[in-house]
Amino acid sequence: MDLSLAWRTLILKPFEVGQIYYGTLAVAHSDFPVRCIKRTDKSVWFEHVTHPQHYAQSRVKVHKYADQEVATFRRWYISSTKQTGGDFDMMTI
């Protein structure tokens, strides 16, 4: 077995059910809180925390990238390592 592959699977930070993550959108000037409500090996279901009536829950495909999982919900980029909000960098636009 390739040890580098085994090491990568040990340090991967997956999306966890019940956890709140913050999505970002390049044209918006803030972070958007979403909650992981369900997951399988290849998919995750998210719902918007503060406005669930405007943004219905939906299923998105999970991609593994380095030591994290990433997904796109309503065109918002969500990373399994971004669990805090309010740190959107205005200089990245």
| pLDDT at residue 81 in the model | 86
pLDDT category at 75 given cuts 50, 70, 90 is: confident
Q: The sheet that has 43-48: what strands, in order across it?
A: 58-61, 43-48, 31-39, 20-24, 76-79, 68-73, 63-65
Number of structural domains (the chain) is 1
User: What is the extent of the structural domain holding 13?
Assistant: 3-92
Please tell me what DSSP assigns to residue 13. Answer: B
67 pLDDT more than 70: yes
pLDDT in tens, 37-48: 999 999 999 999
50 pLDDT more than 80: yes
In terms of Cβ atoms closer than 10 Å to its own Cβ (0-12, 13-18, 19+), residue 4 is exposed
30 pLDDT more than 90: no
pLDDT category at 19 given cuts 50, 70, 90 is: very high
Nearest to 30 by CA among 79, 72, 73, 92: 92
